[in-house]
């Protein structure tokens, strides 16, 4: 559109010179609540043309190009089978880009996103913006409800995990107890509301300050359900979208943050375009933060 610089103009195909990479991971199987999270990557790409590049608050226009690697070839695969292709796609992107955006798909994509960095797990930090612990048991297999537990079982120390935005009446006591026992930093939604999102993100970053690289998991159900209807796990009382945007921008500005994912968006759940516009704004905030490095 003439006179409307927008995010879609920043997407380029397989350009190793672009500072940021983008990988789609349309994983829909293994969800606790079945849905169509697999539709999110393409919906996001279509919506980018509706998001401008000029940030009126800072007076800056986003100019960072994104190398779009398309979607990982995971159609029809189980979570276990899809882990390798997603891990490899992230590994390829992370080897040439300072920051990789991983667009799920359900929250099970977070684990291969971490593994894709190819570093010893004791050197990787994980910060989650999520209403849930994702600490369901793994005995019956991988799901979108247990990527954090699966990573801990892989060897990721709880001392490297900070979880922000955890919601009441959306988790079990055992999950909470297990997270604390592992050493995870737990910051509830109530604490975010009381002390502010800035303080929560500072605490999270301090918790993982000794990590060489950081992965940020943005489970979109952390947002107040009225502001993001397309999140099957979202509930009333969640994080304000404005706080979510602040958190993402701050985290993306940290050079050690190598991967940021967006998960659990089920486009058909929202008959309006609200959820799509919020998800696409996530890309703008990631880029705005990256440009502050």
Q: Yes or no: say if 285 and 245 are a contact pair by the CB < 8 Å rule.
A: yes
What CA–CA distances, in Å, run from 40 to 27, 35, 107? 9, 11, 12
Q: Show Cβ contacts of residue 109 under 8 Å, excluding neighbours closer than 6 positions.
A: 25, 27, 86, 102, 261, 263
**Average pLDDT across the chain, whole number:** 96
Other beta carbons less than 10 A from residue 34's beta carbon: 12
pLDDT digits (tens, 9 = 90+) for 203-220: 999 999 999 999 999 999
Strand partners, 248: none
Assessment of whether the complete model's pTM goes beyond 0.75: yes
Per-residue tokens: 226: 């009225």
**E-assigned strands of 141-236?**
161-166, 185-188, 213-219
Residues 6+ apart with CB under 8 A from 177: none
Q: Give pLDDT tens digits for 61-72.
A: 999 999 999 999
Per-residue model confidence as pLDDT tens digits over 238-280? 999 999 999 999 999 999 999 999 999 999 999 999 999 999 9
DSSP classification of residue 256: T
How many residues make up the chain in this entry?
A: 293
Does the pLDDT at position 32 exceed 90?
no
Beta strand pairing status for 66-71 and 185-188? unpaired
Is residue 29 a contact partner of residue 105, using CB atoms and an 8 Å limit?
A: no
Alpha-carbon span 137 to 145, nearest angstrom:
8
Predicted pLDDT at 31: 83
pLDDT value at residue 2 = 60
Share of the chain above pLDDT 90, in %: 95
Q: Is the CB of residue 261 less than 8 Å from the CB of residue 104?
A: yes
Give the per-residue pLDDT at 33: 81
The CATH number for 7-290, chosen from 1.20.120.1760, 2.60.40.10, 1.40.20.10, 3.40.800.10, is 3.40.800.10
How do the domains of the chain map onto residue ranges? 7-290
């Amino acid at each position: 559109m003439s006179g409307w610089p927008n995010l879609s103009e920043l997407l380029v195909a397989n350009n190793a010179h672009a500072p940021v990479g983008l990988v789609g991971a349309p994983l829909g199987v293994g969800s606790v609540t079945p849905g169509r999270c697999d539709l999110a990557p393409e919906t996001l790409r279509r919506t980018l043309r509706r998001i401008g590049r000029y940030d009126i608050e800072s007076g800056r226009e986003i100019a960072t190009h994104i190398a779009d690697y398309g979607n990982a070839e995971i159609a029809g695969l189980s979570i276990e089978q899809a882990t390798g292709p997603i891990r490899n796609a992230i590994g390829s992107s992370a080897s040439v880009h300072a920051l990789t955006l991983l667009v799920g798909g359900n929250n099970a994509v977070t684990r291969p996103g971490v593994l894709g960095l190819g570093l010893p797990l004791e050197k990787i930090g994980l910060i989650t913006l999520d209403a849930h612990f994702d600490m369901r048991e793994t005995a019956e297999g991988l799901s979108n409800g247990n990527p954090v537990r699966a990573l801990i079982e892989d060897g990721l120390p709880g001392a490297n995990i900070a979880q922000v935005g955890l919601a009441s009446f959306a988790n079990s006591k055992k999950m909470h107890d297990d997270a604390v026992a592992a050493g995870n930093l737990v910051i509830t939604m109530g604490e975010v509301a009381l002390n502010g999102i800035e303080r929560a993100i500072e605490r999270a970053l301090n918790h993982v300050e000794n990590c060489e690289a950081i992965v940020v998991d943005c489970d979109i159900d952390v947002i107040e359900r009225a502001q993001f209807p397309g999140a099957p796990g979202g509930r009333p009382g969640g994080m304000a979208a404005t706080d979510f945007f602040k958190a993402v921008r701050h985290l993306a500005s940290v050079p050690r943050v190598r991967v940021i994912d967006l998960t659990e968006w089920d486009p058909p759940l929202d008959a309006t375009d609200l959820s799509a516009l919020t998800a696409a704004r996530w890309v703008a905030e990631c880029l705005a933060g990256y440009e502050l490095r």
